[in-house]
Chain A
Amino acid sequence: MKHFFPLLRNELRLLVFSPSTYIAAVLFLGFMGFLYLFILQQFALEPRESLPSIDFMRVFWLPVLFMVPLLTMKSFAEEKRVGTLESLMTTPINALELTFAKFFASYVFYMVIWLSCFLLAVAAYITLPSNSVNAKLLDFASWIGGYSFVALSGLLYIAIGILTSSLSKSQLISGMLCFCLLFTLIIGERIIMEIPWGDGIITSTLEKLQAFDQLEDFCHGIVDSRPLVLYATSALFTLGITASIVDSRI
C-alpha cells in the first residue's frame, strides 16, 4: 500500500481545488441550514421530547441519499469514460490502493461537510439568549453520538457509491444505481420490516440492520459496537469487490 498516501493526497488535492466541491458543500450546508432552522421553528411552536440535535440527525438519510451518489459517481466512471483508468493501471499502482484512495478522499469530504453542520448549532447557540433550554442546542452526547453514527454508516454508504461508480462508464447510471441501493438499504429495510416474517431469523436479521434503530441509540448518546462491526466489515467487503471489479475490467 505504499502508493496509497500519494494517491489519497492527489485525490484530496483535486477535491480542494475543484469548484464543484465548494458548490456541493455550499448547497449541502444551505439545505441542512434550512432543515435545522425548520426544526428549531418546530421547537418554538410546541414542546418536544427530543432535542433539536436528535431531530436534526434523524433526517440524516435525506442528504445521504442525494449527496453520496453525487460525491462518488465521478470516482471511477469518469476515469473510465476518459480512459485514464487504463493508463493508471499500467503503473505500479494496484486496484486496491486506487479504490481505497478514492474511497477515503470521498469519505473525508463527506465527514468534513457533515462536521460543518455543527457550526449551524453553534450559530444558533450564539444567536439565541442564554438559558438552560438553549444550552441543550450543544448537547454533546447527542452530537457525538449522532456524528459517530454518520461516520460509521458513511463508511458503507461511500463504499457503495464507489462500487456503483466502478460498474459503469456513465456517471448518471452510477449515480442512479447508488441512489437505488442506498434507498433500499436505508428506507427499503423499513418497508420490508412491515411484512410479517414471523419470529424467525429473517426478522431478527432485519431488525439488526435497521439504520433508524441504530441511529436512535446513537442520537441519544448511546454508542454501540454492533453497528461499528456491521458497517466496517460491510464497507471493507464492498471495497474489496470494487477493487476486484476494477482489476478485472482492465
Chain B
Amino acid sequence: MHTLDDFRYTRWIRNLNLCLQILLSFTLVIGLNYLGFKEYYRKDLTQTHNFSLNPETLAYLRQIQKPVHIIITLQKNANSDVAKKYYNDIGAILREYQYATHKNGENQFTIEYVNVFQQHNRAEELAKLYNVRGDTAILVICGEKYREILGVDLYDAKTSHFKGEQAFTSAILDVTANEKKKIYCIQGHGELNPDSSDPIQGFSAAMMILQHKNIAVEGLDLAKSVNVPDDANLLIVASPQVPFLKQEEEKLRRYLSERNGRLLVFLAVEKEHGLDDLFYDWAIRADNVTIFDDSSDYISSSGDFIIKRCEKHPITQSLIDLQIQLLMGFSRPVKVDRGAGFDEQRKVVPLLYTSESSWSQKMTKAKGNKEKIVRGGQSIAVCAERNAVSQLGIKIAGGRLIVFGNADFVTNSRLGVLGNSFLFQNAVNWCLDCDNLLNIPPRPTHNYQLSLTRKDFMWLSINILIVPCAVAMVGLLIMILRKSN
C-alpha cells in the first residue's frame, strides 16, 4: 500500500494541516491587532466632553515634531487613596495625549511607569539623570530637556479641580521648545552669588530649582556689557549692596520697555538701589526704610517675620489656596506709586503685606534714632506689567517687573522654609509667561453622594427586587403555556 494511503499518515497530514491553519490564523490575529493598535480611534461620549483635551492643547500638540517621553513613578496599587486618584487621573489624561499625538501609526508620546521599589536600577538611573527620587515623580522629557511636574501643579488646594492638562501641556511645550529659556543674574553690585552654597550670601538652591525647570542661568555685568543680551528671558537682581549706575539703569529700562523684558528684583534693606527712576516708570516705590513688627502672631520663634497676607494674583494663588505662609527677615516697603503718571497699558498689583501691627521707620544711622513714619499693613512686594500693542492693534504681553522688598527669602538658608520656594518659583513662572501661557480651564473633580433615608432604602430594595421577579414571572408564564399546549 502506498504510504499516503495509510490512515496513520493521512491523519498525521490532517493534523499538520490543522496546526498550520491555526498558526496562520494566529499570525493573522497578531497582525490585525498590531495594525489596530497602531491606528486607532477614540470617542468621548460624555455630553460635556469631560475627558477630551482642550482645543488649545490639541493645537499645540499638532505642532510638536519631537517625541516626548513621560516617566511616572506613582504606583497603581498605592496604599493611599490620594496616590490612587493621582495615578488614575494622570493615566486617563495621558491616554488622551497619546491619542492626540499619534501620527501615521507612530506614538510620539511614550509613557513609562517605573516601580522604584522593584526596578532599582532604573530608579538609580532616574536619580542620577534627573535627580528625582521617591514614588511621586512625574517627568516630561524631550531629548536632553526635562521638566518635573509636582503634585501641586496637578490639583487645586481642595483637590476639587484637576489641572493636569494645563500642567502637562505647559511642560510639553517647555521641553519641546527649540530654545532653552535663559535667565541672567545681574552682578557687580555685591548681589547674592548664584553659585555659592553659603546659607546667607548664596542662592544656589534657587538656581538649582531653575535648572530643574530646564532654564539656563548665567551671570551678567551690566557695566561691562553694551546691552542686555538678546537671549535674556529674565533678569534677576538679587540683593544689590551698592546703587546701580545711571547707564545700567537705562539699559534695564530699555530692556523692559523696548524689548518687553522681564525683571525680578529682590531688594536688600537699608541699601540704596539706584533704580528709583526705573521703578517710577513702572509706578513702583521702594523707600529706604525698614518694616518692624511686634505682634507675636507674626514673629517666629527665631525672630523672623511671618507673612500671611497675600493679594490674589497668579504669583500668590497657590499660597492662598494651600494657606502657606512665608518666612522673611527684615523687609522694606515696596508700594504702588500713586504719584506716577496714569498709563492705561500698565497694571500694578501689590502682592504681599505685613501685619496690621507692623510699622516702617527710617534708620538714621548717625544718631541711631528710629523715626516712625507709617503704621499698619505694608506692602512688601509689587508686580507690574505692561500690555504691548501689536501692529494689528492686538494687546500682547509686554514687559513685567516684580520688586520684592526682601532678598533673604531666596537665600539658601530660607528658600526651603514654608512657602518661600513656591513664591520664588511662581514669580519666575509669571515672569516667563509660564502661568498664563495656556488658557486651559481646570477640570472639576465631582463628588457624588446619595441621600438615602431608611424608607428610601427599603423601597429601593423592593423595586430592585422587582426586576428578577419579573423575569421569573415571564419564565413561569412560558412554562405554563408550554405545558398547556
Contacts and interface: CB of A to CB of B under 8 A. Distances in A.
Interface of A: 16-17, 19, 21-23, 25-27, 29-30, 33, 36-37, 40-41, 43-44, 46-52, 116, 119-120, 123-124, 126-129, 133-134, 136, 140-141, 144-145, 194, 196, 198-199, 208, 213, 216-217, 220-226, 228-230, 233-234, 236-237, 240-241, 244, 248
A110 to B, nearest CB: 15
- The dominant DSSP class at the A interface is helix
Nearest to A48: B448
- The dominant DSSP class at the B interface is helix
B1 to A, nearest CB: 24
B475 A25 contact: yes
A26 B471 contact: yes
Interface of B: 14-15, 18, 21-22, 25-26, 28-29, 32-33, 35-37, 40-47, 50-51, 77, 85, 88, 91-92, 95, 112, 115, 118-119, 122, 445-452, 456-457, 459-461, 463-469, 471-472, 474-476, 478-479, 482
B326 to A, nearest CB: 33
A136 to B, nearest CB: 6
Given A19-B479, A26-B475, A221-B51, A233 B466 contact: no
B471 A22 contact: yes
Contacts of B457: 41, 44
Contacts of A236: 29
A144 B40 contact: no
Given A22-B472, A44-B451, A49-B446, A120 B478 contact: no
A221 B46 contact: yes
A116 B468 CA distance: 9
B45 A144 contact: yes
A231 to B, nearest CB: 10
B53 to A, nearest CB: 12
A107 B152 CA distance: 48
Contact of A222 (B43, B85, B91, B471): B43
A52 B456 CA distance: 16
B132 to A, nearest CB: 16
Given A33-B464, A216-B88, A222-B43, 6 more contacts: A27-B468, A52-B448, A120-B464, A222-B42, A222-B44, A223-B42
Contact of B22 (A36, A52, A241): A241
B45 to A, nearest CB: 4
A217 B95 contact: yes
B446 to A, nearest CB: 7
A220 B46 contact: yes
A182 B122 CA distance: 33
A33 B463 CA distance: 10
Contacts of A44: 449-452, 457
Given A123-B466, A244-B21, A226 B36 contact: yes
A223 B45 CA distance: 7
A196 B115 contact: yes
A26 B472 contact: yes
30 contacts: A19-B475, A26-B471, A29-B471, A30-B465, A37-B461, A43-B450, A46-B449, A47-B447, A49-B446, A123-B463, A127-B460, A133-B451, A140-B45, A141-B47, A194-B77, A196-B115, A196-B119, A216-B91, A217-B95, A220-B50, A221-B44, A221-B46, A221-B50, A224-B42, A225-B41, A229-B37, A229-B40, A237-B28, A241-B25, A248-B18
Contact of A229 (B36, B115, B471): B36
Contacts of B22: 240-241, 244
B456 A127 contact: yes
Contact of B447 (A26, A48, A234, A244): A48
Contacts of A226: 36-37, 40
Contacts of A128: 450, 452, 456, 460
Contacts of B21: 240, 244
A41 B451 CA distance: 10
